[in-house]
Amino acid sequence: MLTQLKHIGLSDNEAKVYLAMLELGPSSVLEIAAKAAINRPTAYVQIESLKKKGLVSMQTKGKKQLYIAEDPEQLEYLLGHEKKELEQKQEELKSVLPELKAMFDLAEEKPVVRYFEGKEGLLKMQEDFLKAKRKEILAISPVDEVFSVFPDHKNTYTPRRVKKGIKSRLIYTSTENSVYPRKDEKMLRETRYISPKKMPFSADITIFDDNVAIAALKGNISGAIISHKEIANSFRGIFEILWMAAEKI
């Protein structure tokens, strides 16, 4: 019986007190507490709560205040009242849901930017690249600067990328001219070389999934990852234009 009352909506202590009152008839708080096996202050709190639900009434006998359980049919009224309140809440939710959804969509459209400081920060950025779900990374890179900051890049990051089956398309500059073969199936990599005179820049740009990572490799070494689908797609478009242009060089 206790479990069923709890399922209807009464708390554990409310159910205990109500059942005790049904068995006792008109009773004092002390008697109800003893029957329900709870302390007197707790019993009083539960009685007040049940009164608000219309499940308890009072009567005075001499100087004593007695409490009486109302007819259990009141529980049916209580459920009906709660159902009506729930329906009202559902209607209110329906009225504000479009506005809440618009706010949610607006928040979802805002870019999320994470910042990374120093060489260790850029290494953390690389860990994100290796989680690419699309299994393809696009990069525009001044490799001289990359090797200056990470001399062992070829032997650390690249083997891990290959092991994870992530392909790479790389547009790069270098004072040593072409340092990579245009197509390297073993390294899952295609490259296009552009002279640093034609594309002079020192920042490394990596596009993966819905993210764009930009790393400053000179001066204050630092980077940022911008997570935003449309921004990532725009950078992909720029990359493809450079890729086609580099084909002709």
Q: Are 42 and 123 contained in the same domain? A: no
pLDDT tier, 134 (very low <50, low <70, confident <90, very high otherwise) = very high
The CATH number given to whatever domain includes residue 25 is: 1.10.10.10
Work out the average pLDDT over 1-26: 83
Q: Please check whether residue 34 lies inside any domain of the structure.
A: yes
Number of folded domains that form the chain: 2
Work out the pLDDT band at 101, boundaries 50, 70, 90: confident
What is the rounded radius of gyration, in angstroms, for the C-alpha atoms of the chain?
A: 35
Query: Is the confidence at residue 78, as pLDDT, over 80?
Result: no
For residue range 27-43, list pLDDT tens digits in order.
888 888 998 899 989 98
Q: DSSP letter string over 126-181?
A: HHHHTT-SSSEEEEEEEHHHHHHH-TTHHHHHHHHHHHTT-EEEEEEE-TTS--S-
Same domain? For 9 and 116 the reply is no
In this prediction, residue 85 carries a pLDDT of 82
Torsion, CA 152, CA 153, CA 154, CA 159, rounded to 10: 110
For range 36-58, the mean pLDDT:
88
Q: Which helix (H) or strand (E) holds 67?
A: strand 64-69
Q: Which band of pLDDT confidence, cut at 50, 70 and 90, is reported for residue 128?
A: very high
Whether 229 and 122 share a structural domain: yes
Q: 211 or 25: whose pLDDT is higher?
A: 211
Residue 239: the pLDDT is 96
Query: Does 190 map to a domain?
Result: yes
Q: What is the pLDDT of residue 188?
A: 96
Among 24, 44, 72, give the residue marking a domain's end.
Answer: 72
Tell me if 98 is assigned to some domain. no
State the residue range of the domain holding 40.
2-72
Asked if pLDDT for residue 106 goes beyond 70, the answer is no
* pLDDT at residue 138 in the model: 98
For residue 13, give the amino acid letter: N
CATH of the domain at 212: 3.30.870.10
Tokens at 215, concatenated: 């790393």
When pLDDT is cut at 50, 70 and 90, the band that residue 108 belongs to is low
pLDDT above 90 (res 136) = yes
Q: pLDDT band for position 132 (50/70/90)?
A: very high
- In percent, the amount of the chain with pLDDT more than 70 equals 97
Residue 175, both tokens: 């004072």
Helices (H), the chain: 2-8, 12-24, 29-36, 40-52, 73-109, 118-129, 143-149, 153-163, 229-247
Secondary structure tally for the chain: helices H, strands E: 9, 10
Percent of the chain with pLDDT strictly greater than 90: 49
Does the pTM of the predicted model rise above 0.75? no
Mean pLDDT is lowest, of 1-5, 161-165, 194-198, for 1-5
131 and 39, same domain (yes or no) = no
Neighbours of 57 (CB within 10 A): 14
What is the three-class DSSP state of 117? strand
Rounded Cα distance between 200 and 150, Å, is 20
Look at residue 88 and tell me if it is in a domain: no
